[in-house]
Amino acid sequence: MMPAETGDIAAYDLGNLTIVRYPHPMLKKICAPVERFEPALERLAARLLELMKGQNGVGLAAPQVGIPIRMFVCNVTGEEGDDCICINPSFVELSGAEVHEEGCLSLPQVNVSMRRAAHAVAEMQDVEGNRHRRSATNLLARVWQHENDHLDGRLIIDNMSTADEIANRRVLKQLRADAAGAG
């Protein structure tokens, strides 16, 4: 059983975490800030990276595995040294604009054209609670914004154009049917 309303990481069986799919209610939750920087946080980060890489993703947020805390991981290059763990992120600057198609591990086979800032500066903490200010451009900036949306309970489908709605209608209907059948 998952303690769905708590950010107490020690209460979760990290080895059995899986990526939740739309329309799971956790995906619409606004997540709580991380306040306790304990060893379990580092283990959660490692598990998020493992799940993300196992699905060939470039980012994964804690609510996507059912944990409502402000944390995400990402790696846009696939190189081991480029893993990024972002805890309690907040943007201090977003500039420029690009429109690109985005997907989401919680919305398999759904693609939506999203307008995002091309450059981002964010403040965040690491697993030890140390504060950092980092900047990103292009794909990394896009991933930060996408994953941060998850922390605020927003999904790419919340911003679909009419064309995106039509293109993804069947897949979304199937995801809702699959969830209803599993429940």
Residues designated as active site? 147
How many CA atoms does the CB half-sphere of 33 hold within 13 Å?
7
Contact 171, 157 (CB under 8 A): no
Q: CB neighbours (10 Å) of residue 84?
A: 20
